[in-house]
Amino acid sequence: MDMLETLKKITQEVNAVSDLATALSIIVKRVKSAMVTHVASVYLLDQQQNCYRLMATEGLNQAAVGKVTLEYAQGLVGQVGLREEPINLENAADHPSYRYFEETGEERYHAFLGVPIMHRRKLLGVLVVQQEESRCFDQSEEAFLVTLSAQLAGVIAHAEVTGLITQLSGSQKVAKCSGIPGSAGIAIGVAVVHSPGVDLSAIPKRMVEAIEEEEMRFLAALQMVRDDIAQAERNFGQSLPKEEGALFDVYLRMLDQHALGGEIVLKIREGYWAQSALAEIINTHIHNFNLLDDPYLKERAMDVKELGIRLLTKLGVSSQIERKYPERTILVGEEVTAALLMEVPRECLVGVVSVRGSANSHLAIVARSMGIPTVVGALDLPVLQLEGRELIVDGYRGEIISNPNREMRQQYEQMVLRDQSLQAELQQVRDQEAVMLGGHKIGLWLNTGLVTDASLLLDQSVEGVGLYRTEMAFMLRDRFPSEKEQEVIYRRQLEAFAPRPVNMRTLDIGGDKVLSYFPIYEENPFLGWRGIRVTLDHPEIFMVQIRAMLKASVGLNNLRIMLPMISTVFEVEEALRLIHRSFVEVSEEGFDIVMPSVGAMIEVPAAVYQILEIATRVDFISVGTNDLTQYMLAVDRNNPRVANLYHSYHPAVLKALQIIINAARAVGKPSSVCGEMAGDPVGALLLVAMGYDALSMSAAHLLKVKWLLRKISFAQAQSILREVLAMDNAQVIHSHLELLLAKQGLDGLLGPM
C-alpha cells in the first residue's frame, strides 16, 4: 500500500472516533506501522503550563504517558516547536538540545524525526518517530509525517475546545476557539446545543393519489407555522428595533400563497406527497440563494431552510422534544438561524455561537439588534460535545472559551458590567444629532433592503437612506419584476423617508449572484460578470428599473441613484446615457419628474485610481468599504479561514479611502461611506477625519457611532488620523487606537481585530 493510500486510511479512521485518547492511540500505532519505525509519539503543548506533555506513544514506556513533560524550549521536541519546522537527525544524542528521560526508556533510539502540529498558525504539539539504528529518514517519510500532522491538528483543536485535553492531562486548561464576531458583547453561560430535527435533503420523492388530502394537510401545517411566527412577533416585537422586527413580516410573506406556500401547493397538485413537494421547492430556493455572491442576500438561504424545517416539523417529520433552557443559555449549533433565537425565552438567552454563518447573516443582524453577544463561522467548534458546558462568548474578538478558570471568569464579568454601563449611556444620545465637540456635524444615514415598511426605521437623527438594496424585489420572484411592480416597491421606500434622500443602488447581480431565472455560470464568479457589467449588457433590464425608480419619485423628489461595482469611466458614461434616455421617455409619458442625482459606488481598486475622472462625471461618490477592503486585500471576510486577514484599518485600505475623499473634494462632490466600516465607531471616527460627509449603516450601529463622535472634536479626530496614516501595520494601528480610546475612557468601542 502506498503512502497516499495509507494516509487516507489513517485519516478516515481518526475522524471516525469521538474522543482524543482513541484518536491519538490510532495515530501512533498506524504511524509506527506505516513507517516501520520502533517508536511513534505525540507531545501536546500545554500553553497554560508552557510545557509539552507526552500524550500517546507506541514504543516508549506506556507508564510515561500523561506524566512526562518538557519545558517549552526543552529537548528536541522543544526545538521542533521553536523552529516550527521538521527536525531530522541521524543520531539524536549528538544534538546539543537532546534531553534523555529515563522513564520513557528511549535511550536505545538514535534516529529522530519530529514535525510540528500546527493549526491556523498556532502550535499545538509535536509528532515524533524514532528508530534504534542511526539513519536519516528520507524525504518521502518526512513528507508523510508532515501531512499527517496537518490532519491531526484539526482533531486536537476540537479537543482543546471540549476540554478533552484537560481530561487526559489532568491540567486545568482554558480552551479557546476562534470564529467571526457576529454581535459585540460578552456572554457567560451554559451551552445548549441545537440539532435540527429533520434533514431536507433526505426526504424521498413520493407520489400520492389523495391530492386534496395532501393539500389540506400542508395548508394546516402552513397555518400552524404562520401562527407560531405571529405569536413570536407578539412575544418579541417590543424588544426588537423596528427594522429587525420586520423580519417576522418577511417570514409571513415568504409563506404567503403567492410565494413559497403557493409554489408548494402547486407541486402537491402535480401529485406529490406534501413532504416531497415541500423539500423540492425549499431545496431549489436554498440552492439558488447559495449561488449568490452578495453575503447579505446569500444568507437568505438560511431563512428559507429554517421555514422548511418548521413546516416539515408540523407535517410530523420531526420528533424533537421540548427543551428546557438554563437561566443563562448560550445557544450553540451548526447553523443557528435568526428564527431559532425566538424559540429560546428571551430572559434566558445570553449568547449565541454558530459554526456556520457570516457577519452579514440574519442571525448576526438580529443578534446585534437584540444585544446578544454572538460568534459565527466557528469552524473548529465540535458542537455536539459542548452540551451543558460553561462557555464564555466574546463577541468583540470572535472567541469562544470553555473551561474558564476563576480569574478569567471574573475578568469577563467585569467586562459585562462595563458593557451594561455603556448601554445606559448610549440611550442618552438617541434623539440627539451627530455633532462633534466644537460643532462639526456628520450626516448619519441608514442601510436598508430587508424591511417591507421603511417608515419603521425612522429615527430623529437619521438623515436618509445611504444604501437601499433593490435586489430583494428580484430575489423573491421567479421572474423579473415588472416596471409597475418595481414602481410600487420603490414608491413605498421613497414615501417613508420623504423629504429625506434615498440612495437606491441599481440591480447588483451577476457572477455567482445568480437569479434562479437568470443563471450565470463562471469559473471565477468573484471577478466575473456582475453589478453594472450585467445591467449595461442588458439595457432592457436596467432601463425598466430606472423608469420604475423615476416614476416612483413623482412629487417626492428624494431619489438618488447609485451605480454598483464601477471599474471604468466608460461604465459611468454609458449608465448616465441610459438614465438620461429613461428620464426623457418618462417625461414624455407625462410624468412630472425631477432628474435625480446619480452617484458611483467605489468598491473596486481600479476605481480608486480613476476616482478623479469618475467623480467629475457623477453627482456624488459612495464608498462600499466591504468589497473595497476584500478586493484590496484579496480576502473574503466571510471565510473563517482567512477572516483574520480582513482589516478595515489596513494601511492600504486607509490610504485608498484618503485618495477617494481627496479627489471627491477636489471637484466639489459630496461623498459618503456605506460599508461596515461606517458602522464601526472607530472606523467612523477615521472616516470623518478624512473628510467624508455622511456615514450609512444599519440601525443597530447608530447609537455607538453617534455617542463616540459626540465625545471627540474634529481636530482630535484629525490628529488621530495623522498618527494612524504614519503606521504600516494593521495590528499596530488597532493597538494604537485601543490605547488612545482607553486613555480617554472610551474603550470598549473598538472593533475586533
141 grid coordinates: 517519510
What whole-number distance in Å separates Cα of residue 109 and Cα of residue 95? 13
What whole-number distance in Å separates Cα of residue 528 and Cα of residue 48? 47
Q: Which of 346, 402, 202, 215 is nearest to 283 (CA)?
A: 202
Q: Which of 185-199, 216-230, 326-340 has the lowest mean pLDDT?
A: 185-199
Q: Which of 35, 321, 373, 10 is nearest to 182 (CA)?
A: 373
Q: Are residues 89 and 224 in the same domain?
A: no
- Whether residue 253 lies inside any domain: the answer is yes
Q: Which of 393, 409, 395 is nearest to 187 (CA)?
A: 393
What whole-number distance in Å separates Cα of residue 177 and Cα of residue 506? 40
Q: Are residues 48 and 187 in the same domain?
A: no
The answer to whether 123 touches 84, Cβ cutoff 8 Å, is: yes
Burial of 300: CB neighbours in 10 Å, binned 0-12, 13-18, 19+: buried
Q: What is the pLDDT of residue 596?
A: 97
Q: Are residues 169 and 42 in the same domain?
A: yes
139 grid coordinates: 524525504
From first CA to last CA, the distance across the chain in angstroms is: 46
Q: What is the pLDDT of residue 17?
A: 62
Which amino acid, residue 446?
L
Chain centroid to CA 28: 37
Owning domain of residue 370: 178-194+321-402
Whether the predicted pLDDT of 406 surpasses 60: yes
Number of domains into which the chain is organized = 3
Q: What is the pLDDT of residue 173?
A: 55
- Rounded mean pLDDT of 406-410? 87
What are the distances in angstroms from CA 516 to CA 345, 509, 527?
Answer: 37, 11, 20
Q: Are residues 183 and 221 in the same domain?
A: no
* pLDDT higher at 466 or 225: 466
> E strands along 589-730, which residues?
597-602, 620-623, 671-673, 694-697
- Whether residue 749 lies inside any domain: the answer is no
Q: Please spell the DSSP secondary structure of 175-243, one letter per residue.
A: EEEE-EEEE-SEEEEEEEEE--S--GGG----B-S-HHHHHHHHHHHHHHHHHHHHHHHHHHTTTS-HH
Q: Are residues 101 and 132 in the same domain?
A: yes
Q: Are strands 597-602 and 620-623 parallel, antiparallel or unpaired?
A: parallel
Q: Please spell the DSSP secondary structure of 333-397, one letter per residue.
A: ESS--HHHHTTS-TTTEEEEEESS--TTSHHHHHHHHHT--EEE--TT--GGG-TT-EEEEETTT
Specify the 3-state DSSP secondary structure of 717: helix
Q: Are residues 366 and 289 in the same domain?
A: no
Per residue in 240-288, pLDDT tens? Answer: 555 555 566 667 777 776 677 888 888 899 988 888 888 888 887 776 6
Per residue in 494-540, pLDDT tens? Answer: 998 999 999 999 998 765 556 777 777 777 766 788 889 989 999 99
Q: What is the pLDDT of residue 246?
A: 59
The answer to whether 558 touches 494, Cβ cutoff 8 Å, is: yes
| Catalytic residue (choose from 194, 285, 647, 674) | 674
185 grid coordinates: 458583547
Q: Are strands 462-469 and 502-505 parallel, antiparallel or unpaired?
A: parallel
Taking all residues of the chain, what is their mean pLDDT, rounded to a whole number? 83
Q: Binning pLDDT at 50, 70 and 90, where does residue 167 land?
A: very low
Q: What is the pLDDT of residue 753?
A: 47
Q: What is the pLDDT of residue 121?
A: 78
Strand order in the sheet with 175-178: 175-178, 399-402, 390-394, 186-194, 329-333, 349-354, 374-376, 180-183
- Among 346, 378, 402, identify where a domain stops: 402
Q: Which of 197-211, 368-382, 672-686 has the lowest mean pLDDT?
A: 197-211
70 grid coordinates: 518538557
Which amino acid, residue 172?
Q
- Rounded mean pLDDT of 353-370? 75
Q: Are residues 168 and 189 in the same domain?
A: no
Q: Are residues 224 and 293 in the same domain?
A: yes
- Rounded mean pLDDT of 696-717? 89
Q: What is the pTM of this model?
A: 0.67
Q: At what angle do helices 681-690 and 651-666 cross, to 10 degrees?
A: 40
Strand partners, 403: none
- Whether residue 327 lies inside any domain: the answer is yes
In percent, how much of the chain has pLDDT > 90? 34
- Among 373, 402, 431, identify where a domain stops: 402
Whether the predicted pLDDT of 212 surpasses 60: yes
- Whether residue 708 lies inside any domain: the answer is no
Q: What are the respective helix, strand and coil percentages of the chain, to the nearest 5? A: 50, 20, 35
What whole-number distance in Å separates Cα of residue 3 and Cα of residue 452? 59
Q: Which of 336, 324, 402 is nearest to 367 (CA)?
A: 336
Place of cell 543520531: 91
Q: What is the pLDDT of residue 161?
A: 53
- Whether residue 435 lies inside any domain: the answer is no
* pLDDT higher at 420 or 199: 420
Q: Are residues 20 and 56 in the same domain?
A: yes
724 grid coordinates: 494612524
> How many CB atoms are located within 10 Å of the residue 610 CB?
17
What whole-number distance in Å separates Cα of residue 397 and Cα of residue 41? 35
Q: What is the pLDDT of residue 440?
A: 95
Per residue in 435-488, pLDDT tens? Answer: 999 999 999 999 887 544 444 445 556 889 999 988 877 866 778 899 999 999
CATH of the domain at 377: 3.50.30.10
Chain centroid to CA 438: 37
* pLDDT higher at 333 or 504: 504
- Among 285, 314, 343, identify where a domain stops: 314
Which amino acid, residue 465?
V
Q: Are residues 143 and 188 in the same domain?
A: no
Whether the predicted pLDDT of 741 surpasses 90: no
Q: Collect contacts of 613-619 with beta carbons under 8 A, ≥24 apart.
A: 613/569, 614/566, 614/569, 614/572, 615/663, 615/664, 615/666, 615/667, 615/669, 616/667, 617/569, 617/572, 617/573, 617/576, 618/563, 618/572, 618/576, 618/669, 619/560, 619/669
Q: Catalytic site residue 285?
A: no
Q: Binning pLDDT at 50, 70 and 90, where does residue 551 land?
A: very high
Per residue in 94-103, pLDDT tens? Answer: 888 888 777 6
Q: Which residues of 150-187 are buried (b: 16+ CB within 10 A; e: fewer)?
A: ebbbbbbbbbbbbbbbbebbebebbbbbbbbbbbbbbb
- Whether residue 392 lies inside any domain: the answer is yes
* DSSP label at residue 37: -
- Rounded mean pLDDT of 623-632? 92
Per residue in 648-690, pLDDT tens? Answer: 899 999 999 999 999 999 999 999 999 889 988 999 999 999 9
- Whether residue 238 lies inside any domain: the answer is yes
SS (H, E, C) 588-620: HCCCCCCCCEEEEEECCHHHHCCHHHHHCCCCE
| Catalytic residue (choose from 38, 362, 647, 650) | 362
Phi and psi, residue 87, nearest 5°: -125, 125
100 grid coordinates: 534523555
Which amino acid, residue 707?
W
Q: Catalytic site residue 674?
A: yes
Q: Please spell the DSSP secondary structure of 90-148, one letter per residue.
A: S-GGGSTT----GGGT-TT--EEEEEEEEETTEEEEEEEEEESS--PPPHHHHHHHHHH
CATH of the domain at 154: 3.30.450.40
What whole-number distance in Å separates Cα of residue 366 and Cα of residue 427? 19
Q: Are residues 53 and 161 in the same domain?
A: yes
Per residue in 283-322, pLDDT tens? Answer: 877 766 665 555 555 666 777 777 888 888 888 754 444 5
Q: Are residues 51 and 159 in the same domain?
A: yes
- Rounded mean pLDDT of 374-383? 82
Q: Please spell the DSSP secondary structure of 536-551, one letter per residue.
A: HH-HHHHHHHHHHHHH
Q: What is the pLDDT of residue 318?
A: 44
- Whether residue 627 lies inside any domain: the answer is no
